[in-house]
Structures are given as structure tokens and as C-alpha cells.
Amino acid sequence: MKFSSLISRLKNVFKLGRKSKKEPIATTRQDEYLNEEDDPNQIKPRSKSRRLVWILYSAILVIFFGGAGIVFGWVLVNAEKTIEKRIAMTPAVTVEVLADDETAPKNSSKEQSQAKDQRIEDGSDKTIMEKSEKPKDTSGDRDALVGIIFPHITEETEDGPLPIIAADGRQPWLEYSRGFKRADRKPRIALIVTNLGLSATYTKAALKLLPEDITLSFSHVAPRLKSWIREARQKGHEVLMDIPMEPLGFPKNDPGRATLLTSSNEVENLNRLEHVMKKAGGYVGLLGTLGTKFMLHSETFLPILKTIKQRGLIYVDSRSTSRSLGPELASSIQLPRAFNNIFIDKEPSNQKIKDKLDELEKIALKKRFAVGIAQPFPLTIEILSQWAEKLKAKQISLAPITALVDKQSQR
């Protein structure tokens, strides 16, 4: 039964009760009241009905007002706690304002982080570490240089190894060199295959087919760079790292974020150079690539070459432009250097590549030392592997790049 229906019925009962009071009742005293001794259970019907109505009405009032009181009391008691919970759930940052002679509190976020790191080392946060998300497994690439780089000529940093000159003066470019017979007086050719590591197929072919005296130069953005360098070193190759330099047409022609730029200051360019060097280790030097604009600006180029010298490396200039200042600037600061004479496969066709190799041989026979640079195209690799086998019969030696350091004449 609905509450409103119940109230209506109660009102009707009250109306009936009031009417009954006004009407005369033709009864005797004996009819109104009975002797309790005769029958104690007999009660006048009208009195019984009125009493039931009051009981029901009182019960409803008690229930209504009692329930309302309970709800009001609960709200009053819990309102403060509810507000506190909402405040606690709202993100907030507390900033303490310090007086002139006050210092920051010791429990700073940095020190808390250090304390957490210490707990992790002690094993007290083992449960937290186990629940945390497992890092990706990069141990294969991270450990790829173990045994390939030498501690006495390596500076370990958070971002990767950097080559340094040892305390006793030993330099990385000599320590990592393949070695060459100094008694060999035959003309020498150093062949460099650059831009390696970007294509796994091309890189595998180069490592499989090219003779160990050919120098391999890798891009710093190559996936699995350290693993590629490890394999190259284990096969006996000398290794270089490509260092991209600003070309003409930049930024439309953009080699990437680590490119050395004429518009950047010295600190920015040196940071980019260091970024490239930290990507791997075990290399003998850096190969300047592109750079048709950068190589013409001595004020931005010279600090780069000085840093390469301080790291005990060699610099190889690709001479993307014949007017490159690289070889001249390197000689002026006594930086071990070499430079490219011919790009072997600018036109990657069978006959064009062979013609360029013939031209490279003529330079070597005339000047005794020559350097060629090639890309890891499948056709180029196939021709180079066949060409290298026939070179010995021509009385020309195929040599690693360090065997031509400071040997070439700029004239």
C-alpha cells in the first residue's frame, strides 16, 4: 500500500470519529460500560477503533521523524570526513616559501630518489621492483662491445663509451688499427664502404663478401649498431663512424638531428659530435659525410677537428666538395687524416663502377696512395669482392685506412 493512500484512509477514519461525537447516542450507562468482572474482554467498538487509529498515526510519525533524524544526523557527522576525502583526492602541489636565510629541506625529491635507489641496491624494495614493469631486454646490444673496446682508451659515460688517449699516450686509432706491413712499398689503395648498418641485408652481404682489408664505416643511427661493429671487428675490418655534415640545400636536404651545422654554435656542434661517438666503440676514426656547405667554413669546422684529435682518432674527409677545407685544417693541427679521391658508385652500374676502380688504380700508381668510397649496394659489393682478388696481381696493395694516414699529397 502506498504511503499517500494510507494517510487518506487515516483522515477518513478521523472524520468518522468526529461525526460520532456530535450524534446523540441512545444508550444507557449499562450499554456504554460493561462490568469488568462479568466480561473483561468486551470493549465498546467505537473506543477500540479510535485507539487503533491513534496507535497507527503515532507509529507513522515516529517512523517518519525518526528516519529523518537518522539521515540528518548521519550527514552531519560524515560531512567533514567526506570533504576531507575529496580534498585528498584532488591533485595539489605544496610549495614552501623560504625566508632569506633558510635553505631547502633535506627531504627533497632528488634526495628521496637517491634514497629509493639505495633501498633498491640494498634489496629493501625488492617487492616493488618485482611488481614493476620489466625493462626491455637490450643486453645483446649493450654487451656487444665487451672485448671489442679497450678500457685503457675508453671513457665510460651514462650514454655510452667515448674514446680517449691513454695515460701513457696510446691512441685509439692505433690500438684499434688492423696493422699493415710497413716494409710493403707497393702502391696502396684504401677502400671504404660507408653508410652501413641501415640495411641488414646490405650489411650482412658486405660482412660476408668483402675482404678484411676493406674499411667499413657505419651510420650512428643504424639499428644493432654495436652488434654490427662487433662482427666487423671480429672479421678483421677497421671501422669508422659516419659523421653527417651540413650539405647545400639544408634544411630541405636534411641528414638528421646530429648533423653538424654552420648555423649552430660550437657547443651545439660538439654535443652532436659527442652524441655520434657515444653510439659505439672500437672505431679508428670518423668519416665526414655530405658537408658540401659545412666543409667550407673553417670557423665551425676547426673545433670539430680539434676534438677528434683530442680523442685520439683519425679524420677521413669524403670531399663531397673538391673545395673542402678538411684535409688542410687537419694538417694544420697535426690531426691524423686521410681523404677521398673517388666516389666509386655515384652511378651504380656495372661498367661505371669498374671504370671508377680503374681510375682509382691509376691514381695509386701515380701518387702511390689513393682512397675510394663506395655505398653498400649489392652490385657494388659483388664487383668489389671480385676486384680485390685481382688487385694483388697488379702490384697494388689493398690496405686498411690507417695505412694511408698522412700519406696522401693534397697536390
CATH of the domain at 159: 3.20.20.370
Element (H, E) at 317: strand 314-317
The whole-angstrom separation of Cα 348 and Cα 359 is 15
Tens digit of pLDDT for each residue in 148-204?
999 999 999 999 999 999 999 999 999 999 988 878 899 999 999 999 999 999 999
Local confidence band at 250 (pLDDT 50, 70, 90 cut-offs)? confident
Q: At which of 78, 108, 142 does a domain end?
A: 78
Examine residue 38 and state whether it is found in any structural domain, yes or no.
yes
- What is the pLDDT, as a whole number, of residue 97? 46
Residues 68 and 155 in one domain: no
Examine residue 18 and state whether it is found in any structural domain, yes or no.
yes
Residues 167 and 73 in one domain: no
Out of 38-47, 122-131, 156-165, 170-179, which region has the weakest mean confidence (pLDDT)? 122-131
- What is the pLDDT, as a whole number, of residue 120? 42
- What is the pLDDT, as a whole number, of residue 51? 72
- What is the pLDDT, as a whole number, of residue 254? 82
Q: CA 333: distance to chain centroid? A: 37
For residue 330, what are the domain limits?
150-404
Residues 343 and 196 in one domain: yes
Out of 60-64, 137-141, 235-239, 348-352, which region has the weakest mean confidence (pLDDT)? 137-141
- What is the pLDDT, as a whole number, of residue 33? 41
Task: Using alpha carbons, list the distances in angstroms from residue 114 to 15, 36, 109, 117.
Answer: 84, 93, 9, 5
Examine residue 239 and state whether it is found in any structural domain, yes or no.
yes
Examine residue 133 and state whether it is found in any structural domain, yes or no.
no
What average pLDDT is seen over the chain?
Answer: 81
* Residue among 372, 377, 175 at smallest CA distance from 287: 372
- What is the pLDDT, as a whole number, of residue 388? 96
Contacts of residue 382, Cβ cutoff 8 Å, sequence gap at least 6: 209
Residues 281 and 362 in one domain: yes
Residues 289 and 162 in one domain: yes
| Of 107 and 48, more confident | 48
The whole-angstrom separation of Cα 363 and Cα 341 is 8
Residues 245 and 337 in one domain: yes
Residue 239 in this model has a pLDDT that exceeds 90:
yes
Local confidence band at 70 (pLDDT 50, 70, 90 cut-offs)? confident
Q: At which of 55, 78, 101 does a domain end?
A: 78
Residues 213 and 341 in one domain: yes
Examine residue 102 and state whether it is found in any structural domain, yes or no.
no
The whole-angstrom separation of Cα 280 and Cα 145 is 8
Sign of dihedral through CA atoms 170, 171, 172, 175?
A: negative
Residues 158 and 73 in one domain: no
Local confidence band at 37 (pLDDT 50, 70, 90 cut-offs)? very low
Q: At which of 62, 78, 94 does a domain end?
A: 78
Q: Please give the tally of structural domains in the chain.
A: 2
Residues 215 and 360 in one domain: yes
Under 8 Å between Cβ of 200 and 217: no
- Percent pLDDT > 70 in the chain is 69
- Indicate yes or no: pTM above 0.85: no
Examine residue 145 and state whether it is found in any structural domain, yes or no.
no
Examine residue 94 and state whether it is found in any structural domain, yes or no.
no
Examine residue 316 and state whether it is found in any structural domain, yes or no.
yes
| Of 352 and 49, more confident | 352
Residues 74 and 157 in one domain: no
